[in-house]
Amino acid sequence: MAAEESTGAASEAAPLPRLDEIVSLCARRGFIWQSSEIYGGINGFWDYGPLGVELKNNWKALWWQRVVRERDDVEGIDSSIIAHPRTWEASGHVEHFSDPLVDCRACKKRVRADQLDDVGPCPARQGTSEHDWTPARNFNLMLRTQVGAQEDAASTAFLRAETCQSIFLDFKRVRESARQKLPFGIAQIGKAFRNEINPRNFTFRSREFEQAELEFFVHPGEREKWFAHWLAQRLEFYRALGFQDDRLRVRPHRPDELAHYARAASDIEFRFPFGWQEIEGIHDRGDWDLHRHSEYSGKDLSITDEDSKERYTPMVIEASAGVDRGCLALLCNAYAEEKLPDGETRSVLRLPPLLAPIQVAVLPLAKKLAEPAIALAAALRQRFAVFYDDSGNIGRRYRRQDEVGTPFCVTIDFESAADGKVTVRERDSMEQQRVPTDGLRAFLADRLERSR
pLDDT digits (tens, 9 = 90+) for 161-217: 999 999 999 999 999 999 999 999 999 999 999 988 888 899 999 999 999 999 999
pLDDT score at 1 = 55
Give which of 357, 323, 91, 321 is closest to 208, Cα–Cα.
Answer: 323
Q: Yes or no: say if 408 and 444 are a contact pair by the CB < 8 Å rule.
A: yes
Residue 349, class by beta-carbon neighbours within 10 Å (0-12 exposed, 13-18 middle, 19+ buried)? buried
Residue 426 reports pLDDT greater than 60: yes
Mean pLDDT of the chain, nearest integer? 92
- pLDDT-derived band at 8, boundaries 50, 70, 90: very low
Residue 357 reports pLDDT greater than 60: yes
Residue 281 reports pLDDT greater than 80: yes
Give which of 374, 326, 376 is closest to 352, Cα–Cα.
Answer: 326
Give which of 212, 219, 159, 152 is closest to 184, Cα–Cα.
Answer: 219
The string of pLDDT tens digits covering residues 71-90 is: 999 999 999 999 998 898 88
Residue 423 reports pLDDT greater than 80: yes
Question: How many Cβ atoms are within 10 Å of 298's Cβ, its own excluded?
Answer: 7
Residue 11 reports pLDDT greater than 50: no
Alpha-carbon distance values, 227 to 82, 147, 215, 217, 311 (Å): 29, 38, 11, 11, 22
The string of pLDDT tens digits covering residues 363-412 is: 999 999 999 999 999 999 999 999 999 999 999 999 999 999 999 999 99
H-helix or E-strand spanning residue 24: helix 19-29
pLDDT score at 12 = 47
C-alpha gyration radius of the chain: 26
| Sequence-ordered list of residues with C-beta below 8 angstroms from that of 230, at least 6 positions apart, any chain | 214, 216, 282, 317, 319
Residue 261 reports pLDDT greater than 90: no
Q: Yes or no: say if 179 and 172 are a contact pair by the CB < 8 Å rule.
A: no
Residue 49 reports pLDDT greater than 90: yes
Residue 38 or residue 451, greater confidence? 38
pLDDT score at 114 = 80
Instruction: Return the CATH superfamily for domain 19-97+142-332.
Output: Bira Bifunctional Protein; Domain 2 (3.30.930.10)
Phi-psi region of 204 (alpha: psi -120 to 50; beta: other; left: phi over 0): alpha
The string of pLDDT tens digits covering residues 315-342 is: 999 999 999 999 999 999 999 999 888 8
Q: How far apart are CA 361 and CA 388, in angstroms?
A: 6
Residue 2 reports pLDDT greater than 60: no
Share of the chain above pLDDT 70, in %: 96
- pLDDT-derived band at 93, boundaries 50, 70, 90: confident
- pLDDT-derived band at 64, boundaries 50, 70, 90: very high
Of the listed ranges 55-59, 92-96, 267-271, 316-320, the least confidently predicted one is 92-96
Query: Positive or negative, the Cα torsion across 101, 102, 108, 111?
Result: negative
Domain boundaries of the chain, sorted by first residue: 19-97+142-332, 99-140, 358-450
Q: The domain 358-450: what is its CATH number?
A: 3.40.50.800
pTM tops 0.75, yes or no: yes
